[in-house]
Amino acid sequence: MGRQADVTRHTKETQIDLHMDLDGTGQADISTGIPFFDHMLTAFAVHGFFDLKIKARGDLDVDYHHTVEDTGLVLGQAVAEALGSKKGIVRFGDSCVPMDEALSRTNIDLSNRPFLVYNFPDDLTSCGPFNAYLAREFFQAFSVKGCFNLHINVNYGSNEHHVLESVFKSMGRALHGASRINDKITGILSSKGSL
């Protein structure tokens, strides 16, 4: 059995069932009821080479916030469970991804020290109901429940769709790099001997 996790979270606001395989091939089956979010999560899985299946239902008549945030919580928990003890992992990952006029960089440390830095252009206007605020809520929940340090910096971009897509793709690539096993690492990659 590989580095996989199955996580379920059912509340009065959302019902989420998720399967993740860190050592997959980029197969995605995503259904959250929010088409743009599905598109972003698919990009994350494809470019991170994760097999990811998410079935989510939420109170979308209220707004998208609960579904987006809870999906971040569940995905973060799945990453933490799939990583297990974190022995042998590279730990750090970074990726810079262009998308037309947009360029975003993601840096991650699978450190058991959750923290999010999210720098997104203030002057971008939303092109739809899924916007940068919701993406920030997703990444905040993802990093906290996944117990990792996450820095997302958008260098530039004028189209919010392109910017967000570059962010999700760079996140997938950075996590892929950080979660790889390196034979030179015999235990936990830390001068303290633990994370």
Predicted model pTM: 0.94
Q: 4-179: what fold?
A: Ribosomal Protein S5; domain 2 (3.30.230)
Instruction: Convert the pLDDT of each residue in 64-109 to its tens digit.
Output: 999 999 999 999 999 999 999 999 999 999 999 999 999 999 999 9
pLDDT of residue 181: 93
Contact 184, 87 (CB under 8 A): no
pLDDT single digits (tens) 125-175: 776 788 889 999 999 999 999 999 999 999 999 999 999 999 999 999 999
CB 170, CB 97: distance < 8 Å: yes
Q: Which residues pair with residue 28 across a beta bridge?
A: 52
Domain segments of the chain: what residues?
Answer: 4-179
